[in-house]
Chains A and B, each alone.
Chain A
Amino acid sequence: MTPTLQTRRKFLRTSALGAAAAWTLPVFLEKTFCTLNALAADSLTQPVTGKDGTILVVLQLAGGNDGLSTVIPYADDAYHRARPTLALAQDRILKIDSHIGLTPQLPGFKNLYDAGELAIVQGVGYPNPNRSHFRSTEIWQTATDSDRVANEGWIGRYFDNCCRGADPTVGVALADQMPQSFSAKTPTGVTLSRPEQYRWRASSSDDGKPLSDEEAFYRQLIGASEESTPAEGNSIAELPGKTKTGDSAEDFLRRTALDAQLSSEKILAIAKKAKTTVVYPPTPLGASLGLIARMISGGLPTRVYYASQGGFDTHAGQNGAHDRLMTQLNDAVTAFVTDLKAQGNFGRVMLMTFSEFGRRVAENANGGTDHGTAAPMFILGGGVKAGLSGAQPSLSDLDHGDLRFNTDFRSVYATVLEEWLHAPSQVVLGKKFPTLPLV
């Protein structure tokens, strides 16, 4: 019997799983399997609690966000020359300093900046940039050199190295499909688009009602019920049949089934219970960030949340389209921040945006922009060292019409890993990247 299983077994028996009320017990929120587990002795393994650990929220702006229309070098003549129809008049810009400012659709971000809660990392990219959405997204998700392919994502490698044995909700991605950054040797983390989707569903009877009794036997089947005790030999701990090493596929499947049931009950209970007075905008991003705030408030032992906003591939008619995207981003993030502040959790949450690339400096003939390279990232939260980081790339010294990056995105990752998640970045990223003063 491995310590993990023993602990879980004990936990299951002592906390009367099956009664949904059990999941509201504070004891669960404070102690997780990870901390109880012998594996926690491993120096890399991080105990996770839902109450006091730092939390990272990764927000993907999918499609290639136009950095120059987000953080605008308004004082640069080259910007106005390159963007005859897209450039904004100076008086509309939310000025950060005498050179750059935010697009007027981001007033919430401006307030955060002024309040010392937003850092802007400028000119982020990587060497030998790739302009394919598919490939460049993969490079950001796996944090590899652009001529190297990897299967595991950078967050997945963090889970593999630092969260072994952790509750599966150590990572929660709000998506239809797991983002590649979560891909790990030992799959960890939960991907769901709606909490109701993330649960086992009973078969149905002819009148369409779910079979009420099937679920009890499903619990017995995966060892999550009170009825099956280890002594009877059909528990997860004493596996029948062939000799098992703890690593067999069968063991792994039994553990994962139990994990799924546990985390599903928790997420559903939290989603149902946690209430907020903050009104989120009725957008997909608003729904995602609202759900994340509920999970944080409910004390889910999560280190990394992942959400995304799509539609940034603005090849044509960018003016209206990009404005709408920025407004959606602004409104959802503003509601999220208000919510977290009301919860008293803003100090332990960091939100980081990224996009697979920025766009070309010159606008195209369709009032849009094509795939480019470097772009800014936003890092915000109560514990963030606000201000500008990196430098705005030159608009005149271009690389075939594209900005030259000055900060490798993996430096940002390394900072987040080292300074925020307190994880060894070199193990996760494969090499050492200089950290930035963001925390």
Chain B
Amino acid sequence: MLTALPSSRWDKETAAHLLNRATFGATPELVDETHAKGLERAVRDLLTAPETAVEGPAPEWAHPRNLRTIRREARMAKESGDHSKVKAQRQMEGDELLDLRSWWLGRMNESTAPALEKLTLFWHGHFATSAEKVKDGYWMWRQNDTLRRGALGNFNLLTKAISRDPAMMIYLDLQQSRKEHPNENWARELMELFTVGIGNYSEPDVREAARAFTGYRVDPSTQQTRIAFRQIDPGAKNFLGHTGNFTGDQIIDLLTKEPACAVFIGKKICRYFIADEPTPLLVNLVSERLRTHNFEIKPVLAEIFSSAQFYDAAVRRSQIKSPTQFLLHTCKILATDLPTPRVAQNAMRQMGQTLFGPPNVKGWDGGKSWISTATLLFRNNFANYLINGDAMRPDAPRGRGGDLGLRRGGKGTDDPRREPIDVSKIASAELRRNPDVLLQELTRRVFQAGLNDSDTAPFRDFLAHRKGDTSDTTVRGLLHLMMSSPLYQLT
């Protein structure tokens, strides 16, 4: 079973590990604060989301509109040869998504409940839905809001909420499902990807479940969901060995009672929070806790974050940072602002994690799939950009070459120039008087742990080569060198 971490092992490195996994990353200041709380309170605080952190302000454009009218007018204008309305509509979709991505990244960065945001990202990857198909910012925002409200709650209820979520209904064609032609897309993915996993249901189960989810509708004139009663198939269904006039909700109840569901969700939780390739034993432990807590997520996470298994030496610094983690943690370490929405969107795309745009309904694979030679080089160069700002680009011909493609899609001058980081925020004048102390403190800041001598040798040698110089230029170079280390990709 999951065993509690002995209080003797609660130190700054374990506190940093908790922050790195449960949130978007630790800084020395946060580590000190979290360590001082003690394990129990630290975990409790992380998993307690104040009302304001759940509510929070929505983007100002995120409210229902009459999409039916808007789209009809654009279509009619287009048919009469006027493409401006279609263009304007597309532009608006693009602008809203850009804003929505930036809104969420900002929220992850600043939330008083960062663990809630990290968990919301987990559910976004789990109930993966892409704006590529949904094509509406409000619907994407609304799903994000639904995921956040349900993130720490009960998995069964969250799944039911998602079955009524307009973005998901559009993404998996549920809103087209009629009594005469039940659409199997949602029913199949509900089982294959959202609850029990492949091999735990049959093709007839897919067809029967599809019948239970008929009549779910999205009304574009209000952007709300409704039930089309005449489209519901009220008849008896044979599903997973049970027979009854099941509704969609009852199908979800039957699925979450399947032993395979706890294993499937348990494994996903393990992969997201503990290990890219969790052992079957660990998966069993976590799925057992899920069953015991009747799929309440918060108590399960509290037990994980308090367990010796979670803080095991083999678990720490063994997970490859997701692009979101990489971006947010790097900015935290550097005590600098997030890049502009345009730059962030382009960077996230190049690193392979476009928020509100997972590659498909399977979500992001994570782990090693984040890293190719191209994405690794990009991460190194993007860290350079975050440290040095637009000053990193002067050796390139204007607008090409060394430009990392970060301005793509912008109108050229609409993005303010990024300045280099303020080094004094992370390395005081006193620290910089002694290169050895500087190295030690920056290593702790960047890696949240001491590294062994061979790992720090290139950093030490770099400082030695600079003959005791600890100017801003040198410190920024040192930070970039550290962030170019393969070890920096781990958390």
Residues of A within 8 A of B320 (CB): 249, 253
Bound together, the chains give a CA A241 to CA B456 distance in angstroms of: 12
* Cβ 8 A contact of B457, one of A194, A198, A203, A234: A234
Residues of A within 8 A of B388 (CB): 203-204
Bound together, the chains give a CA A204 to CA B387 distance in angstroms of: 10
The binding surface of chain A is classed by DSSP as loop
Residues of A within 8 A of B380 (CB): 200-201
* A100 interfacial by beta-carbon distance below 8 Å: no
Residues of B351-389 whose CB lies within 8 A of A: 352, 359-362, 365, 367-369, 371-377, 380-381, 384, 387-388
Could you mark each residue 70-88 of chain B with 1 if its beta carbon is under 8 Å from any beta carbon of chain A, else 0? 0000000011010100000
Tell me if B373 and A260 are in contact (CB < 8 A).
yes
State how many angstroms separate the Cβ of B164 from the closest Cβ of chain A: 22
* A283 interfacial by beta-carbon distance below 8 Å: no
Tell me if A234 and B486 are in contact (CB < 8 A).
no
Which residue of A is nearest B371, CB measured?
A256
* A186 interfacial by beta-carbon distance below 8 Å: yes
Residues of A120-144 whose CB lies within 8 A of B: 132, 134-135, 138
* B243 interfacial by beta-carbon distance below 8 Å: no
* A309 interfacial by beta-carbon distance below 8 Å: no
* A222 interfacial by beta-carbon distance below 8 Å: yes
Q: Which of B42-50, B118-126, B232-240, B458-466 contacts A (4 or more CB under 8 A)?
A: B458-466
Tell me if B361 and A253 are in contact (CB < 8 A).
no
Residues of A within 8 A of B485 (CB): 221-222
Tell me if A316 and B489 are in contact (CB < 8 A).
no
Of A185, A221, A257, A260, most buried by chain B (CB within 10 Å of CB) is A221
Tell me if B484 and A151 are in contact (CB < 8 A).
no
Which residue of A is nearest B360, CB measured?
A149
Bound together, the chains give a CA A252 to CA B369 distance in angstroms of: 11
* Cβ 8 A contact of A240, one of B373, B454, B465: B454
State how many angstroms separate the Cβ of A266 from the closest Cβ of chain B: 11
State how many angstroms separate the Cβ of B405 from the closest Cβ of chain A: 6
Q: Which of A30-38, A49-57, A206-214 contacts B (4 or more CB under 8 A)?
A: A206-214
Residues of A within 8 A of B184 (CB): 147
Tell me if B462 and A213 are in contact (CB < 8 A).
yes
Tell me if B352 and A201 are in contact (CB < 8 A).
no
Chain A interface residue count, CB cutoff 8 Å, equals: 66
Could you mark each residue 16-29 of chain A with 1 if its beta carbon is under 8 Å from any beta carbon of chain B, else 0? 00000000000000
Tell me if A248 and B318 are in contact (CB < 8 A).
yes
Tell me if A132 and B133 are in contact (CB < 8 A).
yes
* B487 interfacial by beta-carbon distance below 8 Å: yes
Residues of A within 8 A of B384 (CB): 201-204
Could you mark each residue 211-244 of chain A with 1 if its beta carbon is under 8 Å from any beta carbon of chain B, else 0? 1011001101110000000001110000011100
The binding surface of chain B is classed by DSSP as helix
When A202-B477, A248-B318 are in contact, do A196 and B396 touch as well, CB less than 8 Å? yes
* Cβ 8 A contact of A241, one of B360, B404, B455: B455
* B401 interfacial by beta-carbon distance below 8 Å: yes
Tell me if A249 and B276 are in contact (CB < 8 A).
yes
Tell me if A249 and B490 are in contact (CB < 8 A).
yes
Residues of B within 8 A of A202 (CB): 384, 477, 480
When A200-B381, A201-B381, A253-B490 are in contact, do A218 and B481 touch as well, CB less than 8 Å? yes
Residues of B402-431 whose CB lies within 8 A of A: 402-405, 408
* A96 interfacial by beta-carbon distance below 8 Å: no
Bound together, the chains give a CA A187 to CA B368 distance in angstroms of: 8
Tell me if A205 and B473 are in contact (CB < 8 A).
yes
* B350 interfacial by beta-carbon distance below 8 Å: yes
Which residue of A is nearest B319, CB measured?
A249
Residues of B111-155 whose CB lies within 8 A of A: 130, 132-133
* B394 interfacial by beta-carbon distance below 8 Å: yes
Residues of A170-190 whose CB lies within 8 A of B: 176-178, 180, 183, 185-190
* B452 interfacial by beta-carbon distance below 8 Å: yes
Bound together, the chains give a CA A211 to CA B480 distance in angstroms of: 11
* Cβ 8 A contact of B404, one of A185, A197, A253: A197
* A4 interfacial by beta-carbon distance below 8 Å: no
Bound together, the chains give a CA A149 to CA B172 distance in angstroms of: 12
When A176-B408, A204-B392, A221-B485 are in contact, do A260 and B368 touch as well, CB less than 8 Å? no
Residues of A359-414 whose CB lies within 8 A of B: 365-366
Tell me if B405 and A190 are in contact (CB < 8 A).
no
Residues of B within 8 A of A197 (CB): 401-405
State how many angstroms separate the Cβ of B220 from the closest Cβ of chain A: 18
Residues of B436-491 whose CB lies within 8 A of A: 452, 454-455, 457-459, 461-462, 465-466, 472-473, 476-477, 479-481, 484-487, 489-490
* B313 interfacial by beta-carbon distance below 8 Å: yes
* Cβ 8 A contact of A176, one of B360, B392, B405: B405
Tell me if A241 and B452 are in contact (CB < 8 A).
yes
When A176-B408, A240-B452 are in contact, do A220 and B374 touch as well, CB less than 8 Å? no
When A241-B452, A253-B371, A263-B373 are in contact, do A134 and B404 touch as well, CB less than 8 Å? no
Tell me if B473 and A217 are in contact (CB < 8 A).
no
**A-B contacts, 12 listed (Cβ < 8 Å):** A135-B133, A176-B350, A178-B352, A197-B401, A201-B381, A202-B480, A203-B392, A217-B461, A218-B458, A222-B484, A249-B368, A256-B371
A205-B477, A214-B462 known; 18 new pairs, CB 8 Å cut-off, are A176-B349, A178-B372, A185-B369, A187-B368, A191-B372, A193-B405, A199-B377, A201-B384, A203-B479, A204-B384, A204-B391, A208-B391, A208-B394, A217-B461, A222-B485, A249-B318, A253-B486, A260-B373
Residues of B within 8 A of A (CB): 78-79, 81, 83, 130, 132-133, 184-185, 188-189, 276, 313-314, 318-320, 349-350, 352, 359-362, 365, 367-369, 371-377, 380-381, 384, 387-388, 391-392, 394-396, 400-405, 408, 452, 454-455, 457-459, 461-462, 465-466, 472-473, 476-477, 479-481, 484-487, 489-490
